Amino acid sequence: MRTISLRSAQEMEDMNTKMLMETFNFEDFQKQSETLSKMGSLGKIASMIPGMGGGLDPEKLADAEIRLRKHGAMIQSMKKKERLDPDLLIKDAGAGVRLARIARGSGTSIEQVESFLEEFVKMRGLMKKMARISNGDDTEEDVMANMGNRQQRRMAKKQKKKRGGGGGFG
């Protein structure tokens, strides 16, 4: 049992490093999805989180589970090189051909593959921000202030005023 927990701790540390360095790739995403699916349905997992139990729409949870399965099919349709290097699909000049192949192989449309890639990029950036908070490099307010959402920046600014920070020479 100890070797499992030590291995899990090492895997968590490796994942944290990948998040910080923004090297989280599709194979990592697939491992995380498989770990979640072993725990049960998203509804069951949400019920384990305090305050989340009955607050989620079952229809939205079902849609999210379908999307996760489609994402898994997309990842399985990628070549190993693409799973390890997401930039081949995001920034590479030949990405269009690759996306078309992945869409055909996964039974989805190119638009769905592109949408998944956009979600993946956002998720990777969010993971980096969360890792910085957990390492103590940033505070939640700093991260919120740097996010693209105007309302979140306003909230962060209000929080800073409440603390009395950033006022001048004094």
Domain with residue 71: its CATH number is 1.10.260.30
Q: Is residue 74 part of a domain?
A: yes
Per-residue pLDDT tens for 75-95?
999 999 999 999 999 988 889
Q: Is residue 102 part of a domain?
A: yes
Angle between the N-to-C axes of helices 58-76 and 26-39, in degrees from 0 to 180, rounded to the nearest 10: 140
Per the structure, the complete domain to which residue 71 belongs is given by 26-136
**Separation of alpha carbons 157 and 142, rounded Å:** 10
Task: Give the number of other CB atoms < 10 A from CB of residue 29.
Answer: 20
Per-residue pLDDT tens for 47-80?
777 766 666 777 888 888 899 899 999 999 999 9
pLDDT at 70: 94
